[in-house]
């Protein structure tokens, strides 16, 4: 009997230690902030790069964050599309990293709202908290748009949600709530289906197949931190409605492996208006042109910054001649296809 008790106690102690190790790893990863200054100015987009793009600052006071962003419009093109396009950014980026895409839609007559998630760029937060946080931020923004008097004119408009990667998961998974009836279409680039799949995918780089021992603890930590939201999936959101959904993913995506993508789950889809597009050779940024990808590869091969240099001023000297507009050039054919998809949904 004593041996049995000692065995149970030993197992419990082992599980507690394993849980503590998992929590420390999880917390270290997601307690990180992503600042604008993390990326050299020579390869960072700003409003100065888009002479006809205008931004009106906006703040969203949520229960746990102050989210900051902008409403974007054109100084030369009238707003002709009677909707609000909400753009959700990817992890390690902020909303300004998508100014090329935002500018495209603005110059086609759309008004765009884009904001920084918790722990990112201009928004508050000591860290990004976890992968479900992008979904929570989007849900909070939609709630505030629907309840705050200053946003009422926008809430009366049809809403179009667009997201990349972390943001792509958010725009699909938020549909699980089923409460925002004025969402008329969703477009996602490189969306993952479940946060836990991404945690396991990244964990395999550190622990190999041993990461599967951590999986139940990771799921438990996410449930404690995010409650029911931790179980939301992209395909669950897509299947919870019949609005037009466009999901695009590249087979060679090195960030969100294809097997963990929303597009890979298309056989599970019950939404008759969902369109899944599989590409190859586009990696993680499916809206960029081939010219931009080639240029990025050339720069990576030709620019060698010594490892001992960590000063931003010194790093800038190696990047000063980079053509930003070429580096972020869009695939105009693909962007036009996306635009037509949205207009048809309206």
Q: Where are the strands (E) in the chain, listed by range? A: 53-61, 66-74, 84-88, 111-115, 159-164, 183-189, 245-250, 274-279
Binned at pLDDT 50, 70 and 90, residue 100 comes out as very high
pLDDT tens profile 257-306: 999 999 999 999 999 999 999 999 999 999 999 999 999 999 888 888 77
CA gap 252, 185 in Å, rounded: 26
Q: What percent of the chain has pLDDT over 90?
A: 72
The answer, yes or no, to whether residue 246 has pLDDT greater than 90, is yes
Domain assignment of residue 226, yes or no:
no
Binned at pLDDT 50, 70 and 90, residue 53 comes out as very high
User: Which of these, 101, 132, 106, lies nearest to 117 by C-alpha position?
Assistant: 132
The neighbouring-strand residues paired with 72 are 55, 112
Domain assignment of residue 239, yes or no:
yes
Binned at pLDDT 50, 70 and 90, residue 1 comes out as low
CA gap 273, 246 in Å, rounded: 9
CATH code for position 96:
3.40.50.1820
The neighbouring-strand residues paired with 250 are 279
Please tell me the total count of domains within the chain.
1
Q: 3-state DSSP: the chain helix, strand, coil percent, rounded to 5?
A: 50, 15, 30
pLDDT tens profile 122-151: 999 999 999 999 999 999 999 999 999 999
Structure tokens at 271: 């939404």
Does the predicted model carry a pTM greater than 0.85? yes
CA gap 320, 310 in Å, rounded: 16
Domain assignment of residue 13, yes or no:
no
Binned at pLDDT 50, 70 and 90, residue 235 comes out as very high
pLDDT tens profile 220-231: 999 999 999 999
Question: Token match 């667009």: residue?
Answer: 162
How many residues comprise the chain?
346
Domain assignment of residue 109, yes or no:
yes
- Domain span at 243: 31-194+233-345
The neighbouring-strand residues paired with 189 are 164, 248
Binned at pLDDT 50, 70 and 90, residue 62 comes out as very high
Note the pLDDT of residue 6: 67
CA gap 131, 127 in Å, rounded: 11
């Amino acid at each position: 009997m004593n041996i049995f008790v000692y065995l149970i106690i030993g197992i419990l102690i082992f599980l507690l230690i394993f849980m503590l190790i998992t929590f420390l790893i999880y917390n270290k990863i997601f307690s990180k902030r992503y600042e604008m200054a993390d990326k050299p100015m020579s390869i960072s987009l700003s409003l100065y790069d888009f002479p006809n793009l205008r931004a009106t600052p906006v703040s969203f006071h949520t229960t746990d964050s102050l989210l900051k962003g902008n409403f974007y419009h054109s100084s030369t093109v009238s707003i002709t599309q009677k909707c609000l396009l909400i753009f959700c950014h990817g992890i390690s980026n902020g909303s300004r990293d998508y100014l090329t895409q935002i500018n495209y839609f603005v110059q086609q007559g759309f008004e765009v709202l884009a904001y920084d998630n918790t722990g990112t760029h201009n928004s508050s937060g000591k860290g990004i908290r976890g992968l479900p946080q992008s979904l929570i931020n989007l849900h909070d923004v939609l709630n505030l748009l629907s309840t705050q008097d200053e946003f009422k004119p926008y809430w009366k408009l049809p809403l179009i949600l667009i997201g990349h990667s972390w943001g792509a998961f958010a725009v699909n998974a938020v549909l699980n709530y089923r409460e925002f009836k004025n969402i008329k279409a969703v477009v996602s680039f490189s969306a993952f289906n479940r946060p836990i799949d991404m945690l396991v995918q990244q964990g395999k780089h550190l622990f190999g197949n041993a990461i599967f021992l951590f999986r139940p603890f990771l799921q438990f930590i996410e449930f404690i931190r995010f409650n029911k939201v931790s179980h939301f999936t992209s395909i669950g959101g897509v299947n919870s409605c019949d609005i037009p959904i466009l999901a695009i993913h590249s087979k060679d995506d090195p960030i969100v492996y294809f097997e963990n993508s929303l597009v890979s789950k298309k056989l599970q889809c019950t939404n008759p208006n969902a369109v899944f597009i599989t590409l190859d050779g586009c990696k993680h940024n499916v809206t960029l042109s081939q010219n931009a990808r080639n240029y990025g590869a050339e720069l990576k091969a030709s620019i060698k910054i010594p490892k001992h240099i960590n000063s931003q001023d010194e790093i800038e000297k190696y990047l000063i001649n980079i053509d930003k507009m070429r580096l972020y050039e869009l695939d105009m054919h693909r962007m036009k296809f996306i635009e037509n998809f949205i207009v048809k949904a309206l």
